[in-house]
Each structure stands twice: as C-alpha cells, then as structure tokens.
Structure 1
Amino acid sequence: NEDLAEKIRHLSTQAKSDSVEYDHNEIGYNYRLTNIQAAMGVAQMESLDEFVSIKRENALRYKNLFSNISGLEFLWEKSWVMSNFWFYAVKVSRDHKKALVDYLISKNIQVRPVWKPIHTLPMYKDCQAYKIESAVNIYNTVFNLPCSISLKEDEIDFIVKNIKCYLSSKSMNV
C-alpha cells in the first residue's frame, strides 16, 4: 500500500512538511536509527570532547567577528553554563530576519530558522497556549548559522562578511 508507506515515511521524519522551516503538520516521530547508525553513534562518543571543543572555537570566532556589529546579537552562553553550541544562533530585528535569511540562502549559506513555537502548528491549534510571547519573539528574530564541526575559519569569515554586507546595504551600523 503506497499511501500507507508514504504516511509512515512522513510520520517517521517528524511529520516535517517543509524542507527549510521546522513546520510540522502532524505529530511525528524520529524513528530512523538503524543498528549500524547506533553503533556509529556509540563510537563517536569517543570524539565528543573534541567535537565540542571545535564547536566552541567556532562559536568564539563568530562571537568575536560579530562583536562590533549593531543590529545583530550573537547569542552566547550564560555565565553559569557551558554550551556545546549545537547551533550558533543570532538575533536580528523582526524587520530584517526573513530578508537576511533569504539573502544568505541566495549566497549558498545554509542558515536555518529556529523551531516554530509548537502552539502555532496545526495539530496543536486547539491546545491551551499560555503567555508565550517570548517564544514567538524568538521565532521572529532568531536564526541559526552554519555549525558543522568541519566548518573552517575562512567559511566563517565568508558568512560574517555576507551578513555585514546585507546589514550595510540596509544602512545599519556595521
């Protein structure tokens, strides 16, 4: 039954309906781990400290390169926590987020939005949503920069250069 197979594939990929946005049209699941993948994951645990170290070095490079740019905030860890920097998140004004994300994508820079607030997804439309303006504000102003452990310094420089170029074109103080 091809329809059933397609439905199962859709649900097993978290019911994500958009290739860029974290837009889910049903409650989905992340059931895609094979035994080989699990074994590889266990083996990669041996490299975890090295991976986190690389991610932190890249985060520090982003932070330093963004330090004198108004209109953009690189979201850094709080003093009481040590982040693994799974993502490198930046915050811009709501007026510039979509255009900046689109601009960076046009430059082949793989930025990604943050997850949509769950109460905005269709399968939760009838659920109680309390005062969650902060979640909506984060969604409207924050996006994630490329964050692979294979990211090189010149690639980070290219990303930052393009962000500065966009902000300069909007007469923002860069």
Structure 2
Amino acid sequence: MESKIWLSSPHMSGKEQSYINDAFKTNWIAPLGPHVNGFESDIKNYLNEDSHVAVLSSGTAAIHLGLILLDVGHGDEVICQSKTFSASANPIAYQGATPIFVDSEKDTWNICPEQLEIAIKDRISKGKKPKAIIAVHLYGMPYNVNAIHAIAKAYNIPVLEDSAEALGSTYKDVKCGTFGDISVLSFNGNKIITTSGGGAIITKDPKHRDKAVFLATQAREKAVEYVHASIGYNYRMSNVLAGIGRGQMEVLDDRVLARRKNYAFYKESFKNIEELTFVDEPEGYYSNRWLSCILTPSEDIREGIRTALEKENIETRPLWKPMHQQPIFKDLPQYINGVSDELFEKGLCLPSGSNLTENELNRVTSAIKTYFRA
C-alpha cells in the first residue's frame, strides 16, 4: 500500500529549530520566556492592527478566557454558530452557561445573519438576552463580518471571534482575528501553522489582555508568597512551543498560498464532475483554505468517496457535525434553517496540508475520478 496521505499534517520549515535550540541553550524550558514575548509580538505585527496578544496552551483555553473576560457566568446564554468544532461550544458549558445554537448561511457556511437576529429577538422575548455571540470563520472562510457585527451592535452584544481556522484569511482586506471584541487563534497540530498545541487570545483592550495573562497563570496575585484571590488556570504557552511558533510565523504566508493552491488544483481537476461543488469566496473575502471541502449530491455519495479514498490510504473527513446534532447538546435551544444539516450530510474535507506533493494531490484526484467512472 502507498504511504498515508493525511488530511492536514504539521509542516515544519526548519526555521523552528534555531528558536528551540536557543531555548535549550539559555535553559528557558520552563513556561514563559523571551520566545513567548517574541511570538506575541510576531502575531501582533502580522495582524497589523491595534491588537493585544497573549499566547496560550490551546485555542479552547482562549475561548474560555474570552468568555470570562466578557463576564459570562452561570445561568447566562451565549449564541454559538452550530456548524463548528465542539471546542467553540464547550467553554460555554465550562462557565455554567447555556449554548444557543444558530445555523449557517449558504454563501460562507458560517453563522446566518437572519437566523442570528431571530435567535436574539426570541431569547430577549423570553427574558434571556444573550451575553455574547461566538462566530466562527469555518475552514478559513470569513463569516459575514459586516452583517454579524451590525446585528451585535444593534443589540449591544459582544462578539467572540473564533478565528482558530482562519489565520491568514481576510475580510475586505482586514485580517481575521481582529474583528471581535475578543478574538482567538489556534496553533493545534493540524492548523495552518502549529506549535504542536497552542492558541492565542487577542483583545482590543490592553487591560483585557493583562487579565487574560493573569488568569492563565493561576491568577497569582503580586506578592512574595503565593496569594490567590481568584480562580486561575494553567493556560499559558511554554517558551519552547512559542519558539516553534516563531519559526512557523516566518513561513505563514507561504503556507496560506500553498493551501490556496491545493484548493485551486482540486477545483480545476473536478471542473467536469458536475456532482461536485465548492464554496467560493464572496467578493471581498479571502480564505486561507485551511481545508479544501467539496459538496456531493448525497450522504451515500459522500461516504462512497470517503471509503474509496480510505482504501487508497487517503484520509478525509465529513464536514463538522453541527453542534445541535451532538448528543450532549441536542436538547438545547437551536435556531435551524437546515443549511448545516445539509452540509454535514453532503460535505467532505479533502487532504489540504501545505506539504502535499504533486504526486499526492494526483493520487487524491485520481481516486475520486475513478469513483465517478465506476
């Protein structure tokens, strides 16, 4: 059998090693250190906005701290895009709050402005004004920033921007990760750049950033002895992992271009297969194409393609199962138009790593073409 083709594997550049060697040479192995500060500065400079960055142990930790900064607590309700990974929704439950799931629009596969406003009005009518909105840039495609933020502003509800999959994407030439009252990034092993495990929280207010760092370091007060007046978390990124991140930041733009090239390759390869469609970028949107995804006519065909590729040692994955379908969340309030259900039924993520070779891309497309000729 030929070698495994992964969905989205880590892609090291070699530049990371010098930062790691420096951490070992200077014995900055314990959490924090100069690479943590440097990585935060690298991200801030890349975003090119008035952003305040703290790097953390995961994107999930960033969402959790973001909710705390937005004063989400027990008994509150938080609107969450249903078409997403569970890490967008789980931290709501960490805070004893209730996720309220809102469906997607067809243009971007992200949170639907119409359904969002319906949900807000209905929750207010029930005496439960949502405390925050979690909007996700799914698979690197920006959500409808103008529409979503206009609604949020009209009802005075802060937006937590989940940009875990969208580093390098832009909306109207502004980088994703800068739109939310609080924004988050992920550097998980499958993301466009990785620190093995890690994430970042981005705030507009430097005091919010400082509070996030305080909470992420066990909420230790400034005292000679260890004093804790608040509940804290062990959420800070280590100096070694931050060093990996600094090396990855040097090649981020190249990684975005490589993934966009994968998407273009798939689209051109399948242009004569009318059963397969893609989500295109609306005007003013620029997706990093973290994952290239196709839509098929039915679940049977989606599964037929998936299993055919599996037999060829090629990893694929159905689009995220919506949160309102998840056993743990299925009984919670939901405002559904059917879009995310259909996307899950018919959608498939194809291998999308920036380290894919031409031969590997040809193996993927050949296997899919063979499926349709059978």
Regarding TM over 0.5, the answer is yes
Q: Is the 8 A contact 1:115 1:139 kept in 2?
A: yes
Q: Are the counterparts in 1 of residues 323 and 330 from structure 2 also a CA contact under 8 Å?
A: no
Choose which of 240, 255, 279 in structure 2 pairs with 1:51. Answer: 255
Q: Give, in angstroms, the shift of residue 102 of structure 1.
A: 1.3
Deviations 1:27-60 (A, max 9, x none): 4799954512233123311211111111112211
Number of residue pairs matched? Answer: 149
Q: Give the corresponding residue for 1:161.
A: 366
Pick one of 260, 268, 271 that aligns with 1:67: 271
In structure 1, stretches of 5+ residues that fail to align are 1-11, 15-21, 170-174
The two structures, once aligned, show a CA RMSD in angstroms of: 2.6
Please say which structure displays the higher CA radius of gyration.
Answer: 2
Pair 101,161 (structure 1): closer, same or farther in 2 beyond 3 Å: same
| Counterpart Cα distance in 2 of 1:85 and 1:108 | 23
SS of the counterpart of 1:122? Answer: coil
Query: Are 1:145 and 2:350 counterparts?
Result: yes
CA distance in 2, matches of 1:142, 1:92: 6
Partner deviation per Cα, 1:81-121 (whole Å, 9 max, x = no partner): 11101000011011311121111111111111111100111
Question: Which residue matches 2:241?
Answer: 37
Q: State TM-score, norm by structure 2.
A: 0.37
Counterpart contact for 2:270–2:276, Cα < 8 Å: yes
Tell me how far apart the structure 1 counterparts of residues 323 and 317 of structure 2 sit (CA, whole Å): 17
Task: Give the aligned residue type for 1:52.
Answer: V
If the length of structure 1 is used for normalisation, what is the TM-score? 0.75
CA contact (8 A) 1:114 1:144 kept: yes
- Residue of 135, 144, 149 corresponding to 2:340: 135
8 A contact 1:112–1:144 mirrored in 2? yes
* Partners of 1:134 and 1:58 in 2: CA distance: 25
Structure 2 counterpart SS, 1:86: coil
Would you say the 8 A contact 2:291–2:349 is kept in 1? Answer: yes
Structure 1 ranges of 4+ moved more than 6 A: 28-31
Identity over aligned pairs, percent: 30
- Mean Cα displacement is larger for which, 157-166 or 29-38? 29-38
Amino acid aligned to 1:105: E
* Richer in strand (by share): 2
1:84 corresponding residue in structure 2: 288
Which has more helix, going by share of residues?
1
Alignment partner, residue 114 of structure 1: 319
